[in-house]
Structures are given as structure tokens and as C-alpha cells.
């Protein structure tokens, strides 16, 4: 195994940043393939917390190069702020280490304005976007308009495209929403000039670099953003993001063939969270949900919004496993469940006409009428955050992990019991290829 994808299998925030950091000790490259700075990946190294939005988490591993693939939408100013903050922590970010594909669409202030105005107009039907202009930037790409990073090489092209875009967008916002905000061409041109200076030096061809690395047998990690249930086609539409968050997005988001990904590691929290609106069958709207939020510190990394919390949903997880072809799972934040008398897992949904669904046909507006069918498992009382070997977990915690694997029909290879690198346990029976990829005997 030379290449491994780490993707979310719920509604995001499963701990992708941490797991990517844990498994990249020997990696040559970590590549982002979709999303933008709507993502918030938190990594804790030596007690220091680092929050990443656009930079792949491999940036924290000295020997690792990082890439932003063509499937990402790039807010260049946000990238430069992130680079500054990471550099302030003593991490080197140079054009030798970071390559941004010249094909990435740019996210500019007018995209954020469209996002904001539309969300405001939706009132009670908000998607609850991160207001980072992600949807409008992807829409432009599909419409074949807007600026890509490579366009900045020619200032005249950039000016012509921007003029045309601002004219059209201003007319749209004024005509459809009565917006009076003026989108200043000067401000946009100033931003473009800053990006020419600061971001262009990082521009390269990620498709070429990663294809070459794969053919040379280097270890490559593909770092997903969001999660399968936020996929623009396969998620809980319309309450989703605007990119392909499932594994299918890797090939078109990097520019490598679908066979370039050897294994797909799906991440699931030991429970479920969601930020923003949309269906969430196992959501806990009571004190138990508040307790999970407090114990798990479930507040959005990007927007600070409280995350909605609920039980683990195996129906949704099985769906994600199918849609993304997930080979094995990492179950994160198991420590957060300590101290509960019993723990519930949803194994099916009951429809209003009494049928039980074990497989999701598709998510639609009817989904809000489904109620979960639960299996109850015994909890454990011990604090497990200091446990460093699977065998030392309380019997009930081991049983919980085994139940998840068996109900999901997919092996669990890693279990998270805390934020730090070493709070990650290998599950016995994990194929040797994983240990070899990570470069460890039995621990991270």
C-alpha cells in the first residue's frame, strides 16, 4: 500500500486532521482534493493546537510535502493568513513544500457576498453555510466563468474577467435580492495584485507531481474535507456543501486515475455531529445531546457554532461505506462516551408506514420522517483517555468498537481516545500493510 485516502463518513469534523497527522510520519505527500476554507482541521502536537483550513495536515510533518489539488476552491488571502499563522509556530512553508494547482478556482469577496445574501434571503430555510463563498465558487466553475489561479499570470485577463463577473453578479444581487452593496472593482483588483505576489510562487501542477510520486512508489495521503453525507450529489441535498466529498472526488480533484488510491480509510466519530441545517435522524435534542457537546467540545472550528450531537448512525455509515468504497474505519473520540450507563447505535430507520430501512435508498425531504431503530449497548465508567493499547480498554469499550465494525460490515483499524498523536490505538487484526504505511509496530 502506497496511497491512502482519509475521508469523513459522516457530516464532517470526524477528526480527519488528527488522523492524517498520525499516519503521515513516513508520507512524502498529503493532498487536499476538494472543499476550501470551509474545512477546519484541528491537530494537536506536543500540546500545541494548530487549526488548518486549506493547508493539508501533512504540513506538520517536516519531511512531507503538501499539495492543494485542482478540485479545491481557493481563497488566496485566507491561504496566506494560514501560512503566516503556521509559520509563526515555527513550521516552514515554502514553494518547495507546498504546491497549489494552477487550475484551482479562486474565491474572491464577491463569492462571499453571494453566499451571505442568499443565506440571509433563505430565512428559516438556511443551509447554514460557513459563508466562505464555497458554493458560488463551485457554481462558477461549472458555468465555466470566474478566475482560476493560473489566470493571475496575465493581469489583463484577470481584469477583463473580473469586470465581467462583477457586472453580472451586481445585477444578479440587485435584481433578485434588492442588494445595494456595491462590489468594488478596485478592491478586487487590489486583492488580485496581492495574490499575484504571494500565491503565484506556490503555483504548480499537482496532477503531474502526484502522478509522478505514485509511479515512483512514494507514500501519498489524500486528505478529505467535510464528510460523505455533505457530498453535493450523495449527501443530504440541499443541506450539503458544493463538492464531491466522497472518495470519487479524489481522482477528479487531483487529476490522477481512480486506481491511484490503494486504500480508503473512512472516519467516523463514536457518535455523530452536524453543523448547519438538514436531516439528522439520531440527533439528541435533550440534555444528553448537550452533554455530548460539552464533553466532546463540539463547537465548529471555522465558525464557532455549536455542533448538533446525536448517537452513532450505522445506516448512514453503511451508506457512506458503499458510496465511497471505504475499506476500513477509524473510530474517533471514543473517550467522549466514557461515563454513560448505556450507549445507543441506530441500526435501521422506521418509515411512517412501518417499514424498517437498513440501507438508505436516497436522502430526500421525506428523510425527516424516518425515526431511528436503536440497539443499546452497555457503557463503561472508566476514563479511557490515558489508555494506549486496545487490549487495555474496558471490556465494554472493546465491545462497542467490535459492534460498530460488525454492524457497519467494515473493519475498524484505529480508535481515537484523545486529541494527541499517541491517543490513537490500533485494533488487533489490522492488516500489516497499515502498520507498514505508518511505519510503526503497534502504536502511532
Where do the DSSP E strands lie in 29-86?
A: 29-32, 41-45, 48-52, 65-68
CA separation, residue 259 to residues 186, 233, 254, 367 (Å): 45, 22, 13, 34
By CB under 6 A, tell whether 141 contacts ligand IMO.
no
Helices (H) and strands (E) in the chain, counts: 12, 18
Phi, psi values for residue 91, rounded to 5°: -95, 135
Window 330 to 389, contacts with ligand GDP (CB under 6 A): 332-333, 335-336
Strands 342-350 and 371-378: antiparallel
Catalytic residue among 13, 21, 327, 335: 13
Binding mask 296-335 for ligand GDP (x = CB under 6 A): -----x------------------------------xx-x
Task: Please state whether beta strands 220-223 and 29-32 pair in parallel, antiparallel, or not at all (unpaired).
Answer: parallel
Q: Please, what is the minimum distance in Å from the beta carbon of residue 116 to Mg ion?
A: 21
37 vs 42, beta carbon nearer ligand GDP: 42
What are the grid coordinates assigned to 194, written together?
Answer: 496581492
Q: Pattern 247-286, binding to ligand GDP, x per CB under 6 A?
A: ----------------------------------------
Asked if residue 39 binds ligand IMO (CB under 6 A), the reply is: yes
How many CB atoms are closer than 10 A to CB 96? 9
* Residue numbers at the binding site for Mg ion (CB under 5 A): 13, 40, 301
Q: From the CB of 13, what's the least distance to Mg ion, in Å? A: 4
Q: Does residue 395 carry a catalytic annotation?
A: no
Residues 392 to 431 in contact with ligand GDP, rule: CB under 6 A: 416-419
Interacting residue with ligand IMO among 275, 317, 337, 438 (CB under 6 A): 275
Judged by CB under 6 A, the residue of 26, 81, 128, 440 near ligand IMO is: 128
* Side-chain half-sphere CA neighbours of 29 within 13 A: 30
Instruction: Give the phi and the psi of residue 161 in degrees, each rounded to 5.
Output: -65, -45
Contacts of 37 (CB under 8 A, 6+ apart): 53, 54, 75, 78, 79, 82, 107, 132, 302
Task: Name residue, grid cell 505508518.
Answer: 438
Among residues 21, 41, 75, 327, which one is catalytic? 41
Q: CA-to-CA distance for 95 and 334, rounded, in angstroms? A: 38
HSE-CB for 440 with a 13 A CA cutoff: 18
| 211 versus 301: smaller Cβ distance to ligand IMO | 301
Rule CB under 6 A: is residue 45 a binding residue for ligand GDP?
no
Write down the H helix ranges in 144-241: 155-177, 185-198, 206-215
Q: Shortest distance, CB of residue 193 to ligand IMO, whole angstroms?
A: 27
Kindly report the number of other CB atoms within 10 A of residue 171's CB atom. 10
Q: How far is the CB of 20 from ligand IMO (least distance, A)?
A: 11
Contact between 329 and 404 under an 8 Å Cβ cutoff? The reply is yes
The nearest distance, CB 47 to Mg ion, in angstroms, is: 20
Residue 266 makes contact with ligand IMO by CB under 6 A? no
Provide, rounded to whole angstroms, the least separation between the CB of residue 208 and ligand GDP: 27
Question: Where do the DSSP E strands lie in 74-172?
Answer: 98-101
Tell me if 52 contacts ligand IMO by CB under 6 A: no
Binding site residues, ligand IMO, CB under 6 A? 8, 11-13, 38-41, 127-130, 132, 134-135, 225-227, 230, 241-242, 275-276, 301
Catalytic residues: 13, 41
Binding site residues, ligand GDP, CB under 6 A? 8, 12-18, 40-42, 44, 301, 332-333, 335-336, 416-419
Amino acid at each position: 500500500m502506497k496511497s491512502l485516502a482519509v475521508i469523513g463518513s459522516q457530516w464532517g469534523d470526524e477528526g480527519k486532521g488528527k488522523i492524517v497527522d498520525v499516519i503521515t510520519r513516513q508520507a512524502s505527500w498529503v493532498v487536499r482534493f476538494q472543499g476550501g476554507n470551509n474545512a477546519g482541521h484541528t491537530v494537536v502536537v506536543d500540546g500545541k493546537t494548530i487549526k488548518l483550513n486549506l493547508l493539508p495536515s501533512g504540513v506538520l510533518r517536516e519531511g512531507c510535502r503538501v499539495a492543494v489539488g485542482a478540485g479545491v476552491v481557493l481563497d488566496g488571502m485566507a491561504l496566506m493568513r494560514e501560512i503566516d499563522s503556521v509559520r509563526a509556530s515555527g513550521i516552514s512553508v515554502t514553494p518547495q513544500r507546498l504546491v497549489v494547482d494552477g487550475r484551482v478556482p479562486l474565491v474572491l469577496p464577491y463569492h462571499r457576498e453571494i453566499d451571505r445574501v442568499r443565506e440571509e434571503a433563505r430565512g428559516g430555510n438556511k443551509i447554514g453555510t460557513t459563508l466562505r463563498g464555497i458554493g458560488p465558487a463551485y457554481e462558477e466553475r461549472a458555468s465555466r466563468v470566474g478566475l482560476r489561479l493560473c489566470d493571475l499570470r496575465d493581469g489583463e485577463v484577470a481584469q477583463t474577467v473580473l469586470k465581467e463577473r462583477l457586472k453580472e453578479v451586481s445585477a444578479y444581487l440587485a435584481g433578485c435580492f434588492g442588494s445595494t452593496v456595491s462590489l468594488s472593482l478596485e478592491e478586487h483588483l487590489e486583492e488580485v495584485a496581492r495574490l499575484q505576489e504571494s500565491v503565484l510562487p506556490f503555483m504548480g501542477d499537482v496532477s503531474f507531481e502526484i502522478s509522478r510520486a505514485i509511479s515512483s512508489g512514494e507514500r501519498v495521503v489524500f486528505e478529505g474535507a467535510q464528510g460523505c453525507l455533505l457530498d453535493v450529489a450523495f449527501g443530504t441535498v440541499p443541506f450539503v456543501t458544493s463538492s464531491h466529498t466522497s472518495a470519487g472526488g479524489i481522482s477528479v480533484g487531483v487529476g490522477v486515475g481512480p486506481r491511484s488510491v490503494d486504500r480508503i480509510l473512512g472516519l467516523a466519530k463514536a457518535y455523530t455531529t452536524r453543523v448547519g441545517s438538514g436531516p439528522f435522524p439520531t440527533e439528541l435534542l435533550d440534555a444528553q445531546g448537550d452533554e455530548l457537546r460539552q464533553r466532546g467540545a463540539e463547537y465548529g472550528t471555522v465558525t464557532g457554532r455549536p455542533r448538533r450531537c446525536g448517537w452513532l448512525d450505522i445506516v448512514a455509515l453503511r451508506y457512506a461505506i458503499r458510496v465511497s468504497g471505504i475499506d476500513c474505519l477509524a473510530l474517533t473520540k471514543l473517550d467522549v462516551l466514557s461515563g454513560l450507563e448505556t450507549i445507543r447505535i441506530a441500526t435501521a430507520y422506521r418509515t411512517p408506514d412501518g417499514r424498517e430501512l437498513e440501507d438508505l435508498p436516497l436522502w430526500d425531504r421525506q428523510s425527516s420522517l424516518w425515526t431511528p431503530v436503536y440497539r443499546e449497548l452497555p457503557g463503561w465508567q472508566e476514563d479511557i483517555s490515558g489508555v494506549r493499547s486496545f487490549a487495555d480498554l474496558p471490556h465494554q469499550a472493546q465491545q462497542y468498537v467490535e459492534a460498530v465494525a460488525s454492524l457497519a460490515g467494515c473493519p475498524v483499524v484505529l480508535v481515537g481516545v484523545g486529541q494527541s498523536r499517541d491517543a490513537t490505538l490500533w485494533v488487533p487484526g489490522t492488516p500489516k500493510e497499515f502498520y507498514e504505511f505508518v511505519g510503526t509496530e503497534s502504536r502511532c
